[in-house]
Structure 1
Amino acid sequence: MPPTAVGTRKAGFYRHDLDGLRGVAIALVAVFHVWFGKVSGGVDVFLVLSGFFFGGKLLRNALTPGTTLNPGREVVRLVRRLLPALVVVLAASAVLTILIQPETRWETFADQSLASLGYYQNWELAGSASNYLRAGEAVSPLQHIWSMSVQGQFYIAFLVLVVLCTALLRKPFGKRLRIFFVVLLTALTIASFVYAIIAHNADQATAYYNSFARAWELLVGALAGAVVGYVRCPMWVRTLLAIVGLAAIFACGWVIDGVNEFPGPWALVPVGATVLMILAAANRQADPHTRGRIPVPSRVLAWRPLVTLGSMAYSLYLWHWPLLIFWLSYTGKTAVNFAEGAAVLAVSGVLAYLTMRFIEEPLRYRAPATRPDAHRVGLWTRLRRPTMVLGSTVVLLGVALTATSFTWREHVMLQRTDGKELAGLSARDYPGAKALLEDAKVPRVPMRPTVLEAAKDLPVSTDDGCISDFKNGAVINCTYGDKDATRTIALAGGSHAEHWITALDLLGRMHNFKVVTYLKMGCPLSTEKKPLVMGSNKPYPQCYDWVQDAMAKIIEDRPDYVFTTSTRPWNIKPGDVMPGTYVGIWQQFADAGIPVLAMRDTPWMVKNTKPFIPKECLADGGDDESCSVKRSVVLAPRNPTLDFTARFPNLKPLDMSDAVCRRTVCRSAEGNVLLYHDSHHFTTTYMRTMAPELGRQIAAATGWW
């Protein structure tokens, strides 16, 4: 029997150069996150290596005659390997969330803690990415755990696949079982890659977290594990592969916008580069005569400091992101300078080492025989009892974290259940907009909705499913107000048109007109051929198609009036503006003889060009004054719609700015009522208080009452 190869363990297939590559990948991930706010491609390297190590090991066991696969044992190993460090980081993050972040973010943290522990965090984030009402939320300190969830789901699915195929096909296929697995994995990889391209083109933000769109990266690693032992090529070829692969990995973060391009075709760069690194030193497993002869880049990666960093990669990945986010939340900054970033990385490194050394390693091994230093049985025996205590502590910590998360969610749900009476609040105690418009007396009572109630204080049309989401291209019509009336107002556009449904519904029932909805999230009526999602500036091609369909439907239905927004905030300077792409819409309505109730858009709350969420400011100890913005920042001195009324007599300008802002400031609450449930959508409760003034303006524009 030949001696064990350099860089392998006695299991026969361990690669220290790939441990070093993992160290390089985590360094790139952390550095790009901390200082550049970019995706480095390092996570994609992790995914491929995870598929290679885990998938390759399972396949080798499956293809070894006489070997019995024990799925239960594999699951236990995964739990021992992955959960302890995760539980510790989640617990620490929970404490920091309570100490640093406002109460309004605790529910999201609780949801994502449970998602992280249950390994479905990627789907939780995919849902958030596609939810327009959550688009303004702060970045989560647990956002990075999406990749851990993808890997966990892959491990279980791949384990089931290999166990079933081995049980059913090992005897009939015999030595051809390897060929079967190669063909199967190739087919699954191609299918996942094609799906990733389709999902990327349809909705990149959600595809980024989609397990099926990411599966091909892990499958490529598993496929490499199935064939790597049969790869033979000259040293100069392997050296070239290593140089090209390593260079591509280092360059990926600089030349590719991974946040917007992954998991589409550009992800082939880090994935392909990792496969090149796997193949570069493949000969040392395949041919005993070439063991020890590995390319220089692979030899460098096997350097002990890089291998050590690679062994810390999991813990370092878990720690660095929450520490960065909590520091930014604590300081109120949007980025760190060099010294702050270095401090975050240093603390992350220390915590990662301690986590690896005193939590991961003691709990990963069950008995002396499984330890690399098994000959030191005496020491290990003395350590077993403390290890049992440590394991029990981690389990209790996980149970406590789960229970706390569920308890907080129940508390918030109870608060919101009590909030159903918001529709019946006393107008005397909660005058809302009347405090600005009529100088109504404002008694000393608690603000409603509370900061916890606000997130669910939404228009009825949202709850009824009467607004198309980002993926739905259908024009959905729902009817509100007096449903039997002959007079009709078409409510059309995005969510900033939608939140007026509360007041329009009340007015319609009072003054005998019906309101028919034509709404799509984040999609105001516009002739823009390449629209973007406001705030994130992500491409939104579905919006253009929907507007064409909605306009055709509105013109065909011929309502008495169309109610829609006529302005938007500037992206480059203070105030608001009527975009040039709205002009074509006014022309189409003018040609069809349909008048437009053109509502000036909601003031978008911003500070230092960044979205400002009043409820979070209030939850963090602020008041109506400190949690306010200057009116001149969010609104122009004059309604921009007025500049177009001479050209388009069908425009009937509506402006509710004085019901929202004072002469110089726009506050977070007026008349004991919270204005916004995020940074730019009114609460339904405040909208009710604006109904009388909106009715006065509509009456003046239409002459209906």
Structure 2
Amino acid sequence: MKTLDAPRTEPGTESGSVPRAVMGTRASGFYRHDLDGLRGIAIALVAMFHIWFGRVSGGVDVFLALSGFFFGGKILRIALNPDAPLWPLPEVVRLIRRLLPALVVVLAAAAVLTILVQPETRWETFADQSLASLGYYQNWELANTAADYLRAGEAVSPLQHIWSMSVQGQFYLAFLLLVFGFAFLGRRLFGRHLRTAFIVLLSALTIASFVYAIIAHNNDQATAYYNSFARGWELLVGALAGALVPAVRWPMWLRTVLATVSLAAILTCGWWIDGVKEFPGPWTLVPVGATVIFILTAANRTDDPSAGQRLPAPNRMLATKPFVSLGSMAYSLYLWHWPLLIFWLSYSGHAHANFLEGTMVLLVSGVLAWLTTRYIEEPLRSQKAKAATAAPAVPLRVRLRRPTIVVGSIVGLLGVALTATSFTWREHVTVQRANGKELSGLSARDYPGARALIDHARVPKLPMRPTVLEAKDDLPASTTDGCISDFGNTDIINCTYGDKDSPRTVAVAGGSHAEHWITALDLLGRLHNFKVVTYLKMGCPLTTEETPLVMGDNRPYPKCHEWNEKVMARLIADRPDYVFTTSTRPWNIKPGDVMPGTYIGIWETLSQNNIPVLAMRDTPWLTRNGQPYFPYDCLANGGDSISCGIERSKVLSDHNPTLDFVGRFPLLKPLDMSDAVCRKDYCRVVEGNVLMYHDSHHISTTYMRTMTGELGRQMAAATGWW
């Protein structure tokens, strides 16, 4: 995922006014066209890596540093000018006029494509992210998604790339207020040393943000990736570069070498750094540091009129028209390429774009970017300047006929329509899901669910429940009660279900695949007089693995190991009658399922403490082409219970792997509900008129209720309690 570009022109260079010669940081003899070219290179890397390689190129980090340099330098120049007013409103208005129009147009086009291409089950997510994009908090929306296990398998959003624009928008506003506020207090306090005070302040903030980024990266990289505070140092270091340019005194040969090396690092870092896993940690220093070095290789005499001809060769190359032209439409190109790619993959059903498909996406993105830049961005960005130079005698009705006014009005209406539509659809989905409260009272005769497989119950022809819109919220009580620790939490959360006063205890321990059995266990506990106590953490089964990974995306999960050590000590201390947990996982490298070797240490510890284990074989995980998919998306897109299902042999081995360890661990009591979710050769996603999953791998609460009878039969045989 990447980012938008920095401002292309300095204040006062809008179309219709006389351009001032600037060097990116202050008035000088020339404008840094080489940095425009660098933006062009960066956006090309962003698009190509997204489309063909599925990797992070580092272009986003180049953009962040350049944004800090351009915007930060401009705001610092205003603050350091003792005669300049410290009033932020004009700068905020200028930012809105520059950034929002193109964004609104792309969001509106993406909304239409979402309705045409994607199933209605995806519309709510799009509505949420549209509002987040317009409100410039998309990065926090995605951080929340990354930290939410129930949403971790959602399809990639066509608006995912806008996270970086949100980071920059937040930085622009915060930096503007910080610098103007500091200047207001510091002009009299620091006097001519105000520049030094700013350098000290920004250096301290940069170091603090970088240290925070490393800590956040180590704690939860997926969430830190979108964190504004973890990304702030990348923009701040760009602003610092602007303050340092006038002080740089490097000979031409050294500047040429540094410019060449830094450009090479920018071009190649995406190949040898896995940015998806390594950013925003220390490896981010490579693209950001290379960008800062490239900035500092400019001419060291900013008062020299001939300085523009004294740039190193790499800088002169990037200052040529092709690169500058590409850089001028980098913002729009960035906005368009990602949604077009996602919609094409969704429409075609392909996992990746081949060379021809990727080329077409790039070409269409380029054309739309040029049109957006030419007819949306530039007219509205220069509207204020043109209006200021217009003759005062021109009647209002004539001025209102100007194309720029028309374009502005259309963009405004699109923004209002997009916001209203997003809120309306969210309300519609909320109303539809309110009907889900009746799911707990569905007729067993009309909605037999698992009983159609186990007991061969008759299945009448009735609409499926939960519906595709209800399924997302068909969750176990423990989830809504907050009884499972999230990714960042290592606390043990104990909640009690079943017969809360019973002396007999079943401890449900592990990850969410142990948790989704709570619904049936709660019913059985109340019926057969035992209590059910939770010991749960998202995505974290009971395991002795030293470096656990999150199932599905394989990101490091150190807090799972920390939690496991705590929860095993607690289980031994609490001494429940049984520990109920999962005993298998799907293979990542071949069909079927397996009992991981890291579970054996758990069985040994529990056996040594004479604690029996109800070892539940895991339910199937639905994947296609190595990626999880949601059955309700498939069904909403015209599929049926068979076409949206999966072959049993792909997700379940012929033999339950847990059975191989029963002789070694006599207290291990295997439970296997596979025949309640799969037929002999195939696992359908709807059985007995009930939708089986509420996402790609968790059983819906409604279907779980229908499995209660069979689970009770197996538990009775294992425990002898009834």
More displaced 10-residue stretch of structure 1: 495-504 or 617-626:
617-626
More displaced 10-residue stretch of structure 1: 607-616 or 675-684:
607-616
Q: 2:212 is matched by which residue type in structure 1?
A: Y
CA deviations over 1:4-32 (Å, ceiling 9, x no partner)? 76978996473111001000000111111
Aligned equivalent of 2:675: 658
Aligned equivalent of 1:497: 514
Alignment match of 1:185 (pick from 196, 202, 217)? 202
Alignment match of 1:389 (pick from 406, 415, 421)? 406
Aligned partners of 2:31 and 2:399: how far apart in 1? Answer: 29
| 1:342 aligned onto 2:339 | no
More displaced 10-residue stretch of structure 1: 168-177 or 28-37:
168-177
Alignment match of 2:169 (pick from 152, 171, 186)? 152
Q: 1:108 is matched by which residue type in structure 2?
A: T
Unaligned ranges ≥5, structure 2: 1-18
More displaced 10-residue stretch of structure 1: 382-391 or 619-628:
382-391
Aligned equivalent of 2:14: none
Report how far residue 182 of structure 1 moved: 0.5
Could you tell me whether the CA contact under 8 Å between 1:442 and 1:671 is conserved in 2? Answer: yes
Could you tell me whether the CA contact under 8 Å between 1:524 and 1:565 is conserved in 2? Answer: yes
Unaligned ranges ≥5, structure 1: none
Report how far residue 229 of structure 1 moved: 2.3
Aligned equivalent of 2:8: none
Aligned equivalent of 1:318: 335
**Residues 11 and 391 (structure 1), Cα distance of their counterparts in 2 relative to 1, 3 Å cut:** farther
**Residues 113 and 449 (structure 1), Cα distance of their counterparts in 2 relative to 1, 3 Å cut:** same
Could you tell me whether the CA contact under 8 Å between 1:230 and 1:286 is conserved in 2? Answer: no
Could you tell me whether the CA contact under 8 Å between 2:507 and 2:576 is conserved in 1? Answer: yes
Aligned equivalent of 2:239: 222
Could you tell me whether the CA contact under 8 Å between 2:101 and 2:411 is conserved in 1? Answer: yes
Aligned equivalent of 2:296: 279
Could you tell me whether the CA contact under 8 Å between 1:8 and 1:16 is conserved in 2? Answer: no
Alignment match of 2:49 (pick from 14, 32, 36)? 32
1:6-25 map, 5 Å: 12=28, 14-25=31-42
| 1:211 aligned onto 2:228 | yes
Aligned equivalent of 2:612: 595
CA deviations over 1:444-493 (Å, ceiling 9, x no partner)? 21111111111111111111111111100011111110000011111111
- TM-score scaled by structure 2? 0.94
Alignment match of 1:46 (pick from 63, 78, 85)? 63
**Residues 184 and 685 (structure 1), Cα distance of their counterparts in 2 relative to 1, 3 Å cut:** same
CA deviations over 1:520-539 (Å, ceiling 9, x no partner)? 11111111111110110111
CA deviations over 1:643-672 (Å, ceiling 9, x no partner)? 111111111111111111111111011111
Could you tell me whether the CA contact under 8 Å between 1:69 and 1:163 is conserved in 2? Answer: yes
| 1:408 aligned onto 2:456 | no
Report how far residue 43 of structure 1 moved: 0.6
1:549-568 map, 5 Å: 549-568=566-585
Aligned equivalent of 2:468: 451
CA deviations over 1:681-704 (Å, ceiling 9, x no partner)? 000000001001101110111111
Report how far residue 208 of structure 1 moved: 0.5
CA deviations over 1:61-84 (Å, ceiling 9, x no partner)? 111221113311101100010000
**Residues 383 and 7 (structure 1), Cα distance of their counterparts in 2 relative to 1, 3 Å cut:** farther
Aligned equivalent of 1:77: 94
Aligned partners of 1:203 and 1:371: how far apart in 2? Answer: 50
Q: Secondary structure at the match of 2:42?
A: helix
Aligned equivalent of 1:423: 440
**Residues 638 and 228 (structure 1), Cα distance of their counterparts in 2 relative to 1, 3 Å cut:** same
Aligned equivalent of 2:715: 698
Aligned residues: 698
Aligned equivalent of 1:482: 499
CA deviations over 1:195-220 (Å, ceiling 9, x no partner)? 00000000000000000000000001
Q: 2:83 is matched by which residue type in structure 1?
A: G
Aligned partners of 2:596 and 2:410: how far apart in 1? Answer: 59
Q: 2:279 is matched by which residue type in structure 1?
A: F
Aligned partners of 1:387 and 1:694: how far apart in 2? Answer: 67
CA deviations over 1:61-114 (Å, ceiling 9, x no partner)? 111221113311101100010000000000010111111111111111100000
Report how far residue 291 of structure 1 moved: 4.2
More displaced 10-residue stretch of structure 1: 29-38 or 167-176:
167-176
Q: Secondary structure at the match of 1:283?
A: coil
Report how far residue 498 of structure 1 moved: 0.3
Aligned partners of 1:16 and 1:138: how far apart in 2? Answer: 39
Aligned equivalent of 1:355: 372
Q: Secondary structure at the match of 2:201?
A: helix
Alignment match of 1:507 (pick from 524, 530, 534)? 524
Aligned equivalent of 2:637: 620
Aligned equivalent of 2:263: 246
CA deviations over 1:427-452 (Å, ceiling 9, x no partner)? 11111111111111111211111111
Report how far residue 589 of structure 1 moved: 1.1
Aligned partners of 1:36 and 1:184: how far apart in 2? Answer: 40
Report how far residue 292 of structure 1 moved: 2.2
Q: Secondary structure at the match of 2:414?
A: helix
Report how far residue 169 of structure 1 moved: 1.5
Aligned partners of 1:9 and 1:258: how far apart in 2? Answer: 30
Could you tell me whether the CA contact under 8 Å between 1:229 and 1:286 is conserved in 2? Answer: no
Could you tell me whether the CA contact under 8 Å between 1:606 and 1:634 is conserved in 2? Answer: no
Aligned partners of 1:286 and 1:129: how far apart in 2? Answer: 49
More displaced 10-residue stretch of structure 1: 219-228 or 200-209:
219-228
**Residues 137 and 367 (structure 1), Cα distance of their counterparts in 2 relative to 1, 3 Å cut:** closer
1:435-474 map, 5 Å: 435-474=452-491
Aligned equivalent of 2:250: 233
